[in-house]
Amino acid sequence: MMTLQNALATAGSNSCLPTLPLSNTALVAEGGGQRGIFTAGVLDSWLYKGFNPFDLLIGTSAGAQNLSSYMACQKGFGQRSIMQLSKHSNFFKFHRALVGRSAVDLDWYFSQVEQHEHNLNVDCALTRLKARRLLFSATKVSDRRAEFFEPKADNWLTMLKASSALPILYKKGVKIGQEYYVDGGLSAPLPVEEAYRRGAKKIIAIRTVPKDFSAQSPWAHKLKSWVCNSNRCPKVIDLITHHENAYQKTLSFIDNPPEGVQVIQVFPEKSLSSSLVGSSYESLNKDYTMGVNMGLAFLKQHSSSMVAPSAQHHR
């Protein structure tokens, strides 16, 4: 594997120029907590190459955060957010859940994202979305149905928070309108089916687990290992069952897509070193570099077939 410096040198330093989207072409990004640093590496390599042919982008949890920085054209934003904010001692303290508080402090996290040092350039993202749609998945608490929100200038971070609110570990969820919502990964862990329902014929899915991983989601079982020691195990097992059913349904769709639909996966070549939370800096750096390399490998194989005709004409 190339070093990070060599990988980014290979990617180049292309400025983030507007690109023409291809019709019916979608990008879907899985969640996974700090494992999302792999996705950050993939997308940064694409930003360095000025590659964004997608007319529909759908993200879940950490995937939604990574797609936000991708559309804002902020290279390194996802990496910094994971390595600085999600590693901060204020972000995760499990003992808080034992006294009725949120183990994962998303309020603190997104208050930092609003500050200049970590600021997400929403205005830039909205400008680049004029020819595209960006959706975040979240799970409605009342019926556990997945819903897909289109972020606007005045609610972008709220929608991200809803998509990222791990059940049990973050209060009762995020209130939007009259409903509460939790992590989109509960009901739409990898929303390729939603991309298909919205007309996508070519779907690129960035995963945070290896291609052959299909048995159990690390997201849900990490939650089980934490919470089953605090007398909430029946509820957690119920959540895991719901999540696993959704995950298996998605994998079946990927393995057997409808006629005329192509699903291309970008995935780690082996299990990531990082975890949902609590990853070492060494693990995070390693997984980010792997993401950059896998992003470049994808471009080498597929980028020539994913250029809008008018853009190709002017090359």
Q: What is the set of active-site residues?
A: 61, 183
- What sign does the CA torsion over 279, 292, 161, 198 have? negative
Tell me the C-alpha distance between 159 and 61, whole Å: 10
Specify the DSSP class assigned to residue 290.
H
149 DSSP β-pair partners:
136
Query: How far is C-alpha 78 from the geometric centre of its chain's CA atoms?
Result: 10
Tell me the C-alpha distance between 196 and 305, whole Å: 19
- From residue 60, give the alpha-carbon distance in Å to each of 11, 132, 159: 26, 17, 11
Counted residue by residue, the chain has a size of 315
- From residue 300, give the alpha-carbon distance in Å to each of 29, 80, 263, 280, 282: 20, 26, 17, 31, 27
